[in-house]
């Protein structure tokens, strides 16, 4: 039995039928690499059954503490049913990319059943008319509640169901030691634990406040030294308001080598800086086309991992949020990249000054009922008053493995991901990299983004524009370098 953290619990208390809060990677496979050249649904069921012990999320469900006196617990589900969680569907003909995106959006919009372990997996066949995919390809759409994992923990779970070579699933793969779930806790036992935990709260609060005092001093010193950028003005866009219950999903895929070539032209820049610049350019193009581009920069939230090496494999959420201006008010893509890089460096310094774990630890000192009511009250107040949202969109970058992966022998071709939405945050960009490629997946409220195809065209146009500007800069630098090289002197006769 493991207790949820304050952040984990917030993902439960803020969830509604209209705002499901799960993370959903989309993985696409070529079954021709599997022994025999095909993968059957029962092979995938057998694979999951053989790997259940590698990720606790698979068999754990929620238990609430009476009267919400403490954070909930994860306990092993006595009635675990694998075939409830792993499901099999197919796209109707012709089975193109648009159909897949619509199906994924519908699945992503459905809330998970809290009486069971909080995950579902959909094997989707019929992808026979998607450009670039071999015939017979299939997808796996995996829904995992954000209360159980963050992006990094999700990547670890994906690793649990994959191999680095195309192995078939052995027929006896499920013949492991018998699984016996722990006895469920009693209501009295949960209340006793809550009483003990609440006794410790004053000490936790004192420790957290003690960490905040030097953090405040570091922030003050950083502001004096102009190491931090202040976001002076924030504005709302069409993506910042009350969201509906329907979703749209789409993605673009890019060669990772081309993204790295762009970042190499700006000293110190990262792949993440390039992706943020591309997203900013896409937002600029999209809002400009709608006649809605604000004169000031939009602001993005970027989750950052605060997990230590000792905490790897623990699950749950160990993240903080970095906010940064993304310079949608700058037309020149290279200038925007320079500004984004400086902004990211400033935001990282600011997060370091505060202490990335400090705000995460602060949530542990707030009673779950109080935290839930506070966040909902703040959200409703913003909706009623038209107050400005603190961020306009989220850009979440989760690096993935750079070696080929296989599931039941089928080779993983590419990966994308759908993120959760909340009121005031109706647009989510999930960035995943895998084996020489990188994807930018858009999840949005359908009412706010009725034309996702056009938005992903803006993403592609922003990438192309930045790539062309970077290549032109590279050629210019090469010519300048060539001009500075001393010419060899001609030999003269003695």
Same-domain pairing of 128 and 216: no
Q: What is the mean pLDDT of residues 259-265?
A: 94
C-alpha closest to that of 50 among 170, 158, 180, 181: 170
pLDDT digits (tens, 9 = 90+) for 439-466: 999 999 999 999 999 999 999 999 999 9
Same-domain pairing of 416 and 352: yes
Residue showing tokens 């939405």: 421
pLDDT band at 228, cuts 50/70/90?
low
Same-domain pairing of 245 and 163: no
**240 domain-assigned:** yes
- Give the number of domains in the chain: 2
Q: Which sequence positions are flagged as catalytic?
A: 146
Cα 225 from chain centroid (whole Å):
33
**CA–CA distance, 353 with 342 (Å, rounded to integer):** 17
CATH number, position 49: 3.30.559.10
**174 domain-assigned:** no
**Cβ pair 55, 160 in contact under 8 A:** yes
Report the pLDDT value the prediction gives residue 200, as an integer from 0 to 100: 66
pLDDT band at 353, cuts 50/70/90?
very low
Same-domain pairing of 453 and 370: yes
Report the pLDDT value the prediction gives residue 493, as an integer from 0 to 100: 46
**CA–CA distance, 447 with 18 (Å, rounded to integer):** 13
Pairing assessment for the beta strands 427-434 and 393-398 based on DSSP bridges = parallel
CATH number, position 253: 3.30.559.30
Residue showing tokens 């329907």: 246
Same-domain pairing of 145 and 220: no
Which of the two residues, 95 and 366, has the higher pLDDT score?
95
Same-domain pairing of 356 and 259: yes
Tell me which residue range forms the domain holding 291.
200-483
Report the pLDDT value the prediction gives residue 494, as an integer from 0 to 100: 40
**CA–CA distance, 27 with 123 (Å, rounded to integer):** 10
**161 domain-assigned:** yes
43 has a pLDDT exceeding 80: yes
pLDDT band at 431, cuts 50/70/90?
very high
350 has a pLDDT exceeding 50: no
Same-domain pairing of 130 and 260: no
User: SS3 string of 75-132?
Assistant: EECCCCCHHHHEEEEECCCCCCHHHHHHHHHHHHCCCCCCCCCCEEEEEEECCCCCCC
**Cβ pair 232, 421 in contact under 8 A:** no
Q: What is the mean pLDDT of residues 309-332?
A: 76
Note the pTM of the prediction, 2 decimals: 0.87
State phi, psi for 254 to the nearest 5 degrees. -135, 150
Question: The tokens of 246 are what?
Answer: 């329907």
Find which of 278-282, 379-383, 484-488 is predicted with most confidence, using mean pLDDT. Answer: 278-282
**123 domain-assigned:** yes
Q: Comparing 103-117, 262-276, 292-306, 341-355, which segment has the lowest mean pLDDT?
A: 341-355
Q: What is the mean pLDDT of residues 259-270?
A: 92
Same-domain pairing of 295 and 407: yes
Mean pLDDT of the chain: 85
pLDDT band at 180, cuts 50/70/90?
confident
pLDDT digits (tens, 9 = 90+) for 112-136: 999 999 999 999 999 999 999 999 9
The residue out of 118, 147, 169 marking a domain boundary is: 169
Task: Look at phi and psi of residue 81 and say left if phi exceeds 0, alpha if psi is from -120 to 50, else beta.
Answer: beta
Same-domain pairing of 272 and 381: yes
**175 domain-assigned:** no
**351 domain-assigned:** yes
Q: What is the mean pLDDT of residues 456-482?
A: 92
Residue showing tokens 């796209």: 91
């Amino acid at each position: 039995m493991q207790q949820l953290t304050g952040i984990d619990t917030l993902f439960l208390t803020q969830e509604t039928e209209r705002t499901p809060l799960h993370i959903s990677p989309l993985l696409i496979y070529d079954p021709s690499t599997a022994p025999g050249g095909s993968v059957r649904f029962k092979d995938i069921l057998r694979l999951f059954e053989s790997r259940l012990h590698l990720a606790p999320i698979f068999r754990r469900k929620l238990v609430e503490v009476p009267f919400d006196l403490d954070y909930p617990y994860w306990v092993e589900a006595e009635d675990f049913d694998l075939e409830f969680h792993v499901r099999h569907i197919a796209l109707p003909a012709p089975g193109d990319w648009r159909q897949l995106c619509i199906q994924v959006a519908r699945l992503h919009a459905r809330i998970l059943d809290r009486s069971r372990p909080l995950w579902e997996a959909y094997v989707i066949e019929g992808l026979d008319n998607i450009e670039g995919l071999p015939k017979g390809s299939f997808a796996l759409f995996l829904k995992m509640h954000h209360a159980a994992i963050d992006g990094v923990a999700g990547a670890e779970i994906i690793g649990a169901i994959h191999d680095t070579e195309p192995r078939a699933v052995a027929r006896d793969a499920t013949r492991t030691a018998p699984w016996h779930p722990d006895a469920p806790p009693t209501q009295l036992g949960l209340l006793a634990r809550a009483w003990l935990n609440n006794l410790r709260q004053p000490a936790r609060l004192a420790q957290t406040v003690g960490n905040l005092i030097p953090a405040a001093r570091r922030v003050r010193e950083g502001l004096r030294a102009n190491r931090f950028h202040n976001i002076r003005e924030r504005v709302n866009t069409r993506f910042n308001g009350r969201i509906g219950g329907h979703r749209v999903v789409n993605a673009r895929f890019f060669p990772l080598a081309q993204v790295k070539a762009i970042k190499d032209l700006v000293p110190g820049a990262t792949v993440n800086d390039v992706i943020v610049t591309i997203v900013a350019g896409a937002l600029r193009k999209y809002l400009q086309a709608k006649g809605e581009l604000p004169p000031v920069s939009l602001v993005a939230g970027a989750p950052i991992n605060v997990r230590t090496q000792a905490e790897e494999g623990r699950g749950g959420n160990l993240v903080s949020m970095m906010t940064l201006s993304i310079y949608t008010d700058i037309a020149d893509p290279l200038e925007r990249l320079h500004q984004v890089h400086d902004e990211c460096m400033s935001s990282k310094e600011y997060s370091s000054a505060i202490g990335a774990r400090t705000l995460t630890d602060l949530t542990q000192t707030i009673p779950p009922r109080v935290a839930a009511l506070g966040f909902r009250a703040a959200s409703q107040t913003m909706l009623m008053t038209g107050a400005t949202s603190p961020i306009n969109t989220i850009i979440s970058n989760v690096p993935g493995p750079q070696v080929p992966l296989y599931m039941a022998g089928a080779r993983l071709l590419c990966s994308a991901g759908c993120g959760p939405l909340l009121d005031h945050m109706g647009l989510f960009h999930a960035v995943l990299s895998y084996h020489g490629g990188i994807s930018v997946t858009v999840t949005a409220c359908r009412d706010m983004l009725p034309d996702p195809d056009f938005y992903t065209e803006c993403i592609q146009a922003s990438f192309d524009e930045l790539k062309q500007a970077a290549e032109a800069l590279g050629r210019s630098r090469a010519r300048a370098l060539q001009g500075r090289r001393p010419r060899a002197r001609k030999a003269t006769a003695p």
